């Protein structure tokens, strides 16, 4: 019995199974949510006060902080960064 994935990288396995993009998206969203929550704690901001600073609803902030909700818009992310006094840095790099 030949094993298909012996010796392949995990990214290679995910790519072969058409799961790499989805897995990457979830990982990035978890990092973003974690960084925002950490900064909110550091600045002692409640969800209600953060939502007010973002000029949005608490429900929208909850979606931003939901690690499994990958429907993040750049405007929401920019609004959160501004509310926290931070900037955003994106970078495309070779795969």
Reported as a pLDDT band with limits 50, 70 and 90, residue 15 is: low
- pLDDT bin (cut points 50, 70, 90) of residue 74 is very high
Q: Is residue 8 part of a domain?
A: no
pLDDT band per the 50, 70, 90 thresholds, residue 52: very high
CB of 83 within 8 A of CB of 75?
no
Report the predicted TM-score, pTM, of the whole model to 2 decimal places. Answer: 0.77
5 is a domain residue: no
**Spatial CB neighbours of 30, under 8 Å, sequence gap ≥ 6:** 67
pLDDT digits (tens, 9 = 90+) for 39-50: 999 999 999 999
Q: Is residue 40 part of a domain?
A: yes
The CATH number of residue 72's host domain is: 1.10.260
User: How many domains, in total, are found in the chain?
Assistant: 1
For the record, the structure tokens of 51 come out as 């939502």
In terms of pLDDT, which residue wins out, 71 or 22?
71
Structural domain containing residue 42: 16-83
């Amino acid at each position: 019995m030949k094993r298909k994935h012996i010796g392949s990288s995990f990214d290679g396995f995910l790519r072969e199974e058409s799961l790499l993009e989805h897995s990457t998206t979830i990982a990035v969203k978890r990092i973003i949510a974690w960084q925002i929550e950490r900064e909110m704690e550091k600045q002692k901001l409640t969800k209600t006060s953060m939502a007010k600073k973002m000029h949005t609803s608490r429900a929208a902030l909850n979606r931003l902080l939901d690690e499994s909700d990958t429907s993040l818009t750049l405007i929401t992310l920019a609004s959160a960064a501004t509310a926290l006094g931070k900037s955003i840095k994106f970078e495309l790099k070779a795969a």
